[in-house]
Chains A and B, each alone.
Chain A
Amino acid sequence: MGAAPPVLFAVLGETIAEKAGVINLSLDGLILLTAMAGFAAARATNSLLAGFAAAMAVGAACGLVVAAGSLTLRQNQVAVGFVLMIVCQNLAYVLGNPIAHVPGPQVPYTPIPLLRHWPIVGPLLFNQDPLVYAGVLATAGVWWYMFRTQPGLTLRGLGERPAAAFARGVDVIRMRYIYTLVGGALVGLGGASFSLAVKPGWSRPYGIEGTGWIVLALVVFGNWDPLRAAAGAYLFVLLQTLATVLQSLIPSAPTQVFPTLPFPLMILALLLVTLGNSEPVRRLLKPLPVGVQRRVSRALRALQASPPASLGIPFEPE
């Protein structure tokens, strides 16, 4: 529960950006860079708030690069994102070198006074640091914004059919910029949550390498819906916790294998969600009795992830 906020914030951020139609492939490097930046800033100013702010600024800045590269300069989003990933990752290592293995400020643990004494739910939900609470609120907030407000509807339109939004007078390019920046800022919040709470400090390698890719996968797994994506984030963190537990339960197994397992497992989960609706699977289902077939295909379709139709496709106002 406590380890989830970083992944959660990052997933929410990327979901917003992708829902608006922009994919930010630099996440794996960006999370590292924002984690380092957040820690460095917090340490330099001895203020947690400054750390978080700095990380969010860095996140937004990278979002700006991706947005500029793909929206204004019309380069391939995947290319810009990928190269930016390399730059961010290396920047994080080089700039973070002086502050590696150095102690710094940490987010304090703040239980909510009355609620935490509730029988089962209490210690689990209300005995955490403020980031966890913020994460839950953020998830609810993002979901509500996307699916229950007018601007949220516009956001969804940006990703599905920007031409339609444009026809209704929406400045598609500007809104996409804004949402990419917001998404980037949230990812920055996630990164700072790593270095200021979950995995305090900085080192090389930092240990969360690969998480950014998982976040990208989680957005797909979550079908671009903040609630489902959050569920995916919790699932991933759960797998990571299980891995550590299993490690201590089975000492004979080679160490360090278990911590690497959540990554392929998460991708496998993603593949299941995507594969479920492909041709070969459909053919496999044919021999089953019709009733079973219908129930299975309905279940698979519910699991299915379908991206916003205009994700990654540049928009050109005529």
Chain B
Amino acid sequence: MNTTGATMGILRSIAAGVVGLVLTAACGAGILSVLGASPLEAYRWIAAGAFGTPEQVSYVLTAWTPLLLCAAGLLLTFAAGVWNIGIEGQVIFGAVFATGLLRAMEPGAPAWAGVILAGLAAILGGGMWGGVAGALRAYGNVNEIFGGLGLNFIAGSLTVYLVLGPWARPGIASTSGTLPFPDRLWLPTFAVPPLVIPGETLLGLAAIGLVAGALRGTQFGLRLKAIGKSSRAAYIRGVPVTRGLLWAFAGCGGLAGLAGFVLVIGAYSRHQLFPLISGGYGFLAILVVLLAGSNALAGILISAFFAAVSTGSLQLPLQMHLDSAVSGILEGTLVLLALLMRGVQARLVPGGR
């Protein structure tokens, strides 16, 4: 192992990361000044909104978890070389199944049983929906982008129907969501003064660790990577391609479902099902994995960064009359610049990489 080479590689990545961040901040500044807003002030508010108080940090951790879970799932599908655009729908289905189970639960049953069962139901729901996307691709020859999209749309319509129909709040059926769950059904938090860490964060970290381990150390992971590199070569070598793909989709769907579960009964969530519950976390996780590649540690750090920026940006509408979508601009631009820089690097460096 060429340690100097490896160190140089890491240094180069860090340098690239810094350049990317600086360029992104510059682009963001340009856009903000078009609107007449001070970029420094905006960035300061974002930082304050993310780390200002311990409560804010808890919110960041809350936003971090669905990203971690979805990114973990996407590591599987990207390893297998497919684009799981349907991830948003899988998050929704996880949330729907979790809500359904909790609603069906007897009032007297122990809370912890309900929570665990809801989690399992969420994995089942999301995994099933992911499986449908995978089946459409494997058996129906449907491009996974459109299949995933269609399933996203169906999941969206289903949620609206449930929230306004069978699961409507008694009295006023409104799109603000179903009846919130009683607090005994919320996920626990851990106090590490002065921080309060939502329980689900540990779940997210565990998930991504597990997936990274699986991809690196198990035969399942090896198979997925083989399929990703060349499905034809894998097939010839006896790798069960169809089954591998289906499991990748189902696995990603299951993890996405867990994200939905966390969004519904996490410690700081709204504790209810509502339309658009997936909140764009799935797509944001795609951005994370695009940036991180197959590096799980990078994925953890990048999703933390994105979670901080997204949470911090929520301050902007209040403090500066800016739309909180500024976070999306920053995150998207960072990934876009990274992609473009990679391309430039490949073209300029003779012999490329």
Contact = CB atoms under 8 A, between A and B. Distances in A.
B336 to A, nearest CB: 5
Interface in B268-304: 283-284, 286-287, 290
Contacts of B136: 271
Interface in A202-223: 204, 210, 213, 216-217, 220
Nearest to B155: A264
Contacts of B85: 82
A73 B150 contact: no
A79 B290 contact: yes
B146 A72 contact: no
Given A83-B287, A267-B150, A257 B157 contact: yes
A90 B343 contact: no
A220 B145 CA distance: 12
A65 B329 CA distance: 15
Given A83-B290, A94-B322, A257-B160, A274 B140 contact: yes
A81 to B, nearest CB: 10
Contacts of B140: 271, 274-275, 278, 280
Contacts of B328: 86-87, 89-90, 93
Contacts, number: 154
A260 B333 contact: no
Classify the interface of chain A: helix, strand, loop or mixed.
helix
B31 A97 contact: no
A256 interface: yes
Interface string B118-155: 00000000000000000010011111011101100110
A257 B275 CA distance: 11
Interface size band for B? 35 or more
Interface residues of A, number: 49
B323 interface: yes
A277 interface: yes
B129 to A, nearest CB: 13
Interface in B153-178: 153-154, 156-157, 160-161, 164-165, 168, 173, 175
Contact of A74 (B168, B286, B343): B343
Contacts of B325: 89-91, 93-94, 204
B290 A256 contact: no
Contacts of A213: 149
A96 B142 CA distance: 36
A256 B149 CA distance: 19
Interface in A181-233: 204, 210, 213, 216-217, 220
B330 to A, nearest CB: 9
Contacts of B142: 271, 274-275
Nearest to A90: B328
Contacts of B290: 79, 82-83
A216 B325 CA distance: 24
A278 B332 CA distance: 36
B347 A260 contact: no
Nearest to A205: B276
A90 B339 contact: no
Given A95-B31, A97-B322, A73 B346 contact: yes
A69 B340 contact: yes
Contacts of B34: 95
Nearest to A278: B141
B6 interface: no
Nearest to B328: A90
A276 B306 CA distance: 42
B160 A97 contact: no
Nearest to B168: A254
B150 A94 contact: no
Given A95-B34, A254-B164, A277 B141 contact: yes
B35 interface: yes
A271 B135 CA distance: 13
Contacts of A263: 153, 156-157
A262 to B, nearest CB: 9
B340 A75 contact: yes
Contacts of B200: none
Given A84-B336, A263-B153, A264-B154, A256 B164 contact: yes
Contacts of B31: 91, 94-95
Contacts of B329: 87, 90-91, 94
Nearest to B327: A90
Interface in A256-273: 256-257, 260-261, 263-264, 267-268, 270-271
A318 interface: no
Contact of A80 (B284, B339, B346): B339
B336 A78 contact: no
A103 interface: no
B232 interface: no
B239 to A, nearest CB: 20
B51 interface: no
A98 interface: yes
B246 interface: no
A267 B153 contact: yes
Nearest to B149: A213
Interface string A60-78: 0000010011001111001
B346 A217 contact: no
Nearest to A23: B145
15 contacts: A69-B340, A73-B342, A74-B343, A75-B342, A82-B283, A90-B326, A94-B325, A94-B329, A204-B325, A216-B145, A254-B161, A254-B165, A254-B168, A257-B164, A264-B154
Q: Which 3 A-B pairs give the minimum distances between C-beta atoms? A: A73-B343, A267-B150, A90-B328
Given A72-B347, A87-B329, A274-B140, 19 more contacts: A73-B344, A75-B339, A75-B340, A82-B83, A83-B335, A94-B325, A96-B323, A254-B160, A256-B164, A257-B157, A260-B160, A261-B157, A264-B150, A264-B154, A267-B146, A271-B136, A271-B142, A278-B139, A280-B140
